[in-house]
Amino acid sequence: MLYGKALRDEIACSGTTPLIGVYDMYSASLAAAHYDGLFVSGFGFAASYYGLPDIGFIAWPDMVAFAERLRGAFPRHHLLVDIDDGYVDPELACHVVRRLERSGISGVVLEDQKRPRRCGHTEGKQVLPLEEYLAKLNQVLASRTDLLVVARTDATDDEEILHRASALAATDADVVLVDGVRSVEAIRRIRGVIGNKPLLFNQIAGGKSPRLSLSELAALGVDVAIYSTPCLFAAHRAMEEAMTELKSTDGRLSAVDGVGARAGVGEVTAMLTENLRRHTTH
């Protein structure tokens, strides 16, 4: 199956294609039951795999191994993987891209940040000189066969954002992403300078970008929306509440039936058994 082509075809359809951020196999199992596309965010992976902020700690073999497990478990879903800055070195970025394509990953996101890198919705981001990033991007594009490539800029100055978005749109990258967009008007301006190139919008709870529905994004000409951390942040709040409740009840577990009940062994085992079925029938 040509996974990159399948994602391109999905993006080319009318409306905005949602890709849901997952951080481990369990969150992916839940998200995959509701959506056809998954996104591996650097923020979520750094938090779950290392317990660290998204500032450049991810080792590429860890990310590749996780992506490979995802593809084995979800053979029919679109899988977009955040590879940050390609792990600094252009040759390494190309190696990672080839590994991910052989593993059946649909696409990757390659950013123009320089080290020390930051989450796209935080302060203090710095970007590489445009020509340096374009050289890396073009090497990555030349190394892929079918894989979809999202070219991402983390520029923060309004004029520089538009300049870089236009330059990225002129490459053979499949999609353009400006991370940390602060307003609807900024989305309109970016849409205006990239021509017919598909546009991706990143939404993260508590981030810099406005909260917009898929219908609103479609009206703005956004082709893809990634939701970086809905599973991670929901898990954080739910686990905090569960621990607080367990402590307050002197260790008595909550009921698993009735309105508002927590998940129990039967419900979880059923989901995991379905994962096993997919593994054995793929």
Looking at the DSSP bridge assignments, the partners of residue 210 are none
pLDDT digits (tens, 9 = 90+) for 15-51: 999 999 999 999 999 999 999 999 999 999 999 999 9
pLDDT attached to residue 278: 67
Nearest to 170 by CA among 143, 190, 197: 197
pLDDT attached to residue 279: 64
pLDDT digits (tens, 9 = 90+) for 154-163: 999 999 999 9
> Which has the higher per-residue pLDDT, 214 or 204?
214
Give the pLDDT band (50/70/90) at residue 144: very high
Query: What are the structural domains of the chain?
Result: 3-232 (3.20.20.60), 237-281 (no CATH)
pLDDT attached to residue 34: 97
CA dihedral defined by 127, 151, 106, 86, rounded to 10 degrees? -30
* Tokens at 248, concatenated: 């307050």
Helix (H, G, I), strand (E, B) or coil at 208: coil
Q: Answer positive or negative: Cα dihedral of 33, 34, 38, 39.
A: negative
> Which has the higher per-residue pLDDT, 271 or 9?
9
| Burial class of 233 by CB neighbour count within 10 A (0 to 12, 13 to 18, 19+) | middle
Alpha carbon separation from 281 to 60, 106, 264 (Å, rounded): 29, 21, 26
Q: How far apart are CA 198 and CA 177, in angstroms?
A: 9
